Structure 1
Amino acid sequence: MNQPVKRKRIPYGMMNFIDVREDDCYYVDKTHYIPLIENANKYFFYIRPRRFGKSLTISMLRHYYNILEADKFKKWYGDLYIGKHPTPERNSYLIIYLNFAVVNAELNSYRQSLDAHCNTEFNFFCDVYAQYLPEGIKEEMNKKKGAVEQLDYLYKECVKTNQQIYLFIDEYDHFTNKILSEPACLEDYKSETHGTGYLRSFFDTVKAGTDSTIKRCFVTGVSPVTMDDLTSGFNIGTNYSLSPEFNEMTGFNEEEVRAMLDYYATTCQFHHSTDELIEAMKPWYDNYCFAEQSYGGTTMYNSNMVLYFVDNYIRNGGYMPRNMVEENIRVD
C-alpha cells in the first residue's frame, strides 16, 4: 500500500503564528513587510475586512519583537524573508497584546469587560516580564482602578527599568461596531468616544504613554469609524489602510494563491489545473483593492476563504466544494 505523500498542513482558521510554524503549516511569507512597518510612523493603524489575516499578522509581529523569544528566532523565522534580513529592533520590546474581540459589546457592561480583559493581559505582562520590571509592580498595579489607571501606571513604571513597550490592539472596533448596530445606542456611543468618555480616555492614556515607554503601537480593525471618533485621543496614529505600500500585507495576491495550488497539486489528488481553480475562485474570493494607486493592478484574495477552498478541495478528493462560502463568513 502506497504511503500518502507528506504535505504541509493547511492553516485554515489558525491565527497563532507559532502554531502555524511549529505544526509545519503552509505559510505565505509576509515578513518582508516588517522593515516597511519599522520605517513607517511608529503608531500604525490598519483596517481590513474580517477573515483577512490581520490576527495572524499581529501574531507574527508580536513574536518577532518579543524580547523573551530571541532564542526562538531561527526556529520560527529562519527560512523566511526576515530570517535572512533581520531588523535592528528584532526581539527588543516588552509586548502588551489586547484583543478587543473578547470585550462584551453590551453598552451597559463594556467598561467592566474592557477593564477585566486589560487586567488579565496586564497581569500576564507583569508575570512574564518580571525580570525586566520593578519589583512589586503587579501588586501595585492591581490597586489601581480600571484599564485606564492600570495602563497609566504600567508605562510609567517601565521608565524605572528603561524598558520599551510595543502595544498591539487587535479588533479595536469590535465592540463599538456591535454597539453602533443598535440605532438607539448612537448617542451613548458618542458619549463613550468623545469628550471624557471611557474609551476616549483609554486612547488618551495610550497617547500619553507614547511620550514615555510605549514606543510603538499596531492597531487593527475593520472600520475607521471608531478611530475617526477618537481622533484627538489618538491623533498621533497614522492610518496605513489605503497605502499602496501595504496593499498586499494581508490577504493573498494571485501569485501567492497560484504558488499554493501548485504546491498542493504535487502532494494531493487534483482533478483541475491551477488555471481552472483560479477561474473558479476568482468570482468568490478575489477583487479586493485597498489602495487607489493599486487599482487596475494587483487585486487581493480573502486569505481565509482561499484556505477554506483549498482545504475542502483536497478533502473532497480533488473536487470543488459544494459551498464556496464558509458559514462563518456568511454569519459575519
Structure 2
Amino acid sequence: MVDLTGLPLSITSFSEFCERNKIYVDKTDLVAKLAQFDAPIFLSRPRRFGKSTLVSTFQELFSNGLDKFQNLKIVTENLWNDKTYKVIHIDFSQIKENTENRPFEDKFYLLLKSAFKEASLAIIEERDVIAAFADTIGTEDNGTLVLLIDEYDAPLTAVLGDKKEFEERRALFSEFFSTIKAYSGKFRFIFITGVTRYSNTSIFSAFNNIEDISFNPAYGAIVGYTQEELEQYFKDYIEYAAKALNRKEKTCKYTYEFILDELKNNYDGYSFDEDNEWHVYNPWSILNFLTAGIQAVLA
C-alpha cells in the first residue's frame, strides 16, 4: 500500500516539503537559472499551479543556502555558488479581502511590517506604507536584499466590482512598484508572481526592464507537472490506483497505462509557452485525484 501522507496536497512551503517528507518535484535547475537574472522577473500562472511553492523555494535558497537542497539538481549538478541575503517575502493574497473596519493601506502596512520582521529588518515608522518601505530598505547596503512578491494582483482582482476601491489600490500599487524601481540597487533579486498582468493600469510602468517569463519556452515547465515528472514522482500512486479500482469494481481493465491515458485526457490541457513546447498538469488536480480517488477506493 502506498503512503498517502507523502502527497503534498495543500503544501506550499519548501521547508515543509523537507520537514514532513513530502514529494517535491525537483525544478531547482530552473530555479538556479532564474536566480542569475539581474532584472526583476515576472511570472503569470493560474491559481493552484505552484507559484507559491516556487517563491518559497527562492526564499529558502536565498535565506539559508543549500542546507535543505541536498540530493536536488541545484546541488548534484553544482548549479549554485552564492551567499545568503535578507529576504523580504510579501504574499498579497493575505490581504485581498475588502473590510470596512480597516483600510487597505493599513493592512498593507501590517503585511509589510511582518515581512520586514521575517527578514530581520526593523521597519522605520512613517506616515504611510510607501515611505516606510522606502526609508527601511534605504538604510541597507546595495545588493543585500531579495524581494519576493507572491500573488501581487490578488487585492486587485478581489475588488474588480468596486471601481473606487480598485482605483485606490491600483494607485497605491503603482507607487509601490515605482519605489521598488527607485531602490532597485538594494536588491540582488526581485521575483513577482500573479494570475494576470494589469498592463493597462500603469502598475508596472516603472519597471521598463522587467523580464516577463510567462510565455518564455525556457520556463514553460517552471511550475506544473510535465508528463515525465508525473511518471517519475507519482508512478507508485498511479499503479496503486489502478489496482485498487480493479479490486473495487472486480475487473482488470484498469492498468497503469489506462490511468495515465485518463489523466492525460482530463488534466493535460495546459501549455503556457509561445512555442507550445511544454504541456503541464495542474498539480492541484493531480494531487486531488490521487488523494481522493485512492481514499474513496479504500473507504
- Per-residue CA deviations over 1:135-178 (Å, capped at 9, x if unaligned) read xxx2xx3422332112212221112xx66111000000001011
Q: Which runs of 5+ in 1 are unaligned?
A: 128-137, 320-332
Match of 1:147 among 82, 106, 129: 129
User: What pairs up with 1:160-179 in 2 under 5 angstroms?
Assistant: 164-179=144-159
Match of 2:197 among 208, 212, 224: 224
Distance across 2 between alignment mates of 1:260 and 1:57: 18
Q: Are the equivalent residues in 2 in contact too, given 1:101–1:170 (CA < 8 A)?
A: yes
Q: Are the equivalent residues in 2 in contact too, given 1:10–1:311 (CA < 8 A)?
A: yes
**Partner residue in 1 for 2:231:** 258
Deviation at 1:8, TM superposition (A): 6.3
Q: Does 1:299 align with 2:270?
A: no
Distance across 1 between alignment mates of 2:181 and 2:206: 7
Q: Does 1:102 align with 2:55?
A: no
Distance across 2 between alignment mates of 1:41 and 1:148: 24
- Per-residue CA deviations over 1:1-54 (Å, capped at 9, x if unaligned) read xxx666761001100111111211111111110232034443110010000000
User: What pairs up with 1:234-273 in 2 under 5 angstroms?
Assistant: 234-264=207-237, 270=244, 271=246, 272-273=254-255
Q: Does 1:53 align with 2:46?
A: no
Distance across 1 between alignment mates of 2:298 and 2:199: 44
Instruction: For residue 191 of structure 2, give the secondary structure of its aligned residue in structure 1.
Output: strand
**Partner residue in 2 for 1:186:** 163
* Number of aligned residues: 288
RMSD between superposed Cα atoms in Å? 2.5
Q: Which runs of 5+ in 2 are unaligned?
A: 247-253
Q: Does 1:84 align with 2:76?
A: yes
Instruction: For residue 176 of structure 2, give the secondary structure of its aligned residue in structure 1.
Output: helix
**Partner residue in 2 for 1:208:** 182
Deviation at 1:253, TM superposition (A): 0.9
User: What pairs up with 1:117-128 in 2 under 5 angstroms?
Assistant: 117-126=111-120
Deviation at 1:318, TM superposition (A): 7.1
Instruction: For residue 251 of structure 1, give the secondary structure of its aligned residue in structure 2.
Output: coil
Deviation at 1:224, TM superposition (A): 1.0
Distance across 2 between alignment mates of 1:245 and 1:21: 27
Q: Are the equivalent residues in 1 in contact too, given 2:52–2:150 (CA < 8 A)?
A: yes
Relative to 1, partners in 2 of residues 1:227 and 1:47: Cα closer, same or farther, differing over 3 Å? Answer: farther
**Partner residue in 2 for 1:14:** 11
Q: Structure 2 length as normaliser, TM-score?
A: 0.86
Task: Give the partner amino acid of 1:284.
Answer: N
Q: Structure 1 length as normaliser, TM-score?
A: 0.78
Task: Judge which range, 52-61 or 309-318, deviates more.
Answer: 309-318
Identity fraction in percent: 22
Q: Are the equivalent residues in 2 in contact too, given 1:253–1:300 (CA < 8 A)?
A: yes
Deviation at 1:264, TM superposition (A): 2.6
Distance across 2 between alignment mates of 1:89 and 1:116: 34
**Partner residue in 1 for 2:249:** none
Instruction: For residue 245 of structure 1, give the secondary structure of its aligned residue in structure 2.
Output: helix
Instruction: For residue 190 of structure 2, give the secondary structure of its aligned residue in structure 1.
Output: strand
Deviation at 1:257, TM superposition (A): 1.3
Q: Are the equivalent residues in 2 in contact too, given 1:77–1:83 (CA < 8 A)?
A: yes
Instruction: For residue 309 of structure 1, give the secondary structure of its aligned residue in structure 2.
Output: helix
Task: Give the partner amino acid of 1:288.
Answer: Y
Distance across 1 between alignment mates of 2:199 and 2:110: 21
**Partner residue in 2 for 1:112:** 106
